[in-house]
Amino acid sequence: MEDCLAHALFMGIRRGELAGLEWKDIDFENKTMTIARSVQDIAGFGIITKEPKTENSKCTISMPDKLIEYLHEYEAWWLNRKHYLGDRLGDTDRLFCREDGRDICPGLFRVWLQKILARAGLPIVTLHSLRHTNITLLLNSSVDMKTVSTRAGHARASTTSDFYSHFLQNSDIHASEKINKIFG
């Protein structure tokens, strides 16, 4: 449960992309993750696998070392679970799936997140808030807009700057304060 939420925070990926992750998308050697598919729960049809939200959402992005550590631990647990469940799990390669190997509903991540937050005594937020937090932290750390936009899978850097303009205004105020200190 916590492992999937670490993906959302560390990588800033959407919940459908998270539900669609497969082990073949994780390259431990090169420390990358490929976003290749998305899972959606569509009323009247059920759970389907489709292309990610935008063409730019299909991408390969670098993973932080801390997430790689979590993934190694999770992979050991996952392989043990797969061995224990045997044929019941099927041939799935999905990082997150039901005990019979079928896809999970992406909305399940929200339920898991709320349980974790409640247990920790923290305010309830949405899973998408972890995506926003990731993007905001990158921008706050002076990662350039194009890189942040690419990692977020936005079609254009302007999408990122438009959506996070309120944060950029705070950065502008911070920049002004830095100039004040320099010439103070």
Q: Which domain holds residue 54?
A: 2-183
The pLDDT of residue 68 is 94
Average pLDDT, the chain: 86
- The residue-averaged pLDDT of 71-99 equals 89
CA-angle at 132, arms to 119 and 57, nearest 5°? 120
Which CATH number covers residue 12? 1.10.443.10
Model pTM score: 0.81
Residue 158 pLDDT level (bands cut at 50, 70, 90): confident
In the chain, where do the E strands start and end?
26-27, 32-35, 38-42, 46-50, 59-62
**Radius of gyration (C-alpha) of the chain in whole angstroms:** 18
Q: How confident is the model at residue 63 (pLDDT cuts 50, 70, 90)?
A: very high
- CA dist 114 and 94 (Å) reads 23
Give yes or no for a contact between 74 and 67, defined as CB atoms under 8 angstroms apart: no
Number of domains, the chain: 1
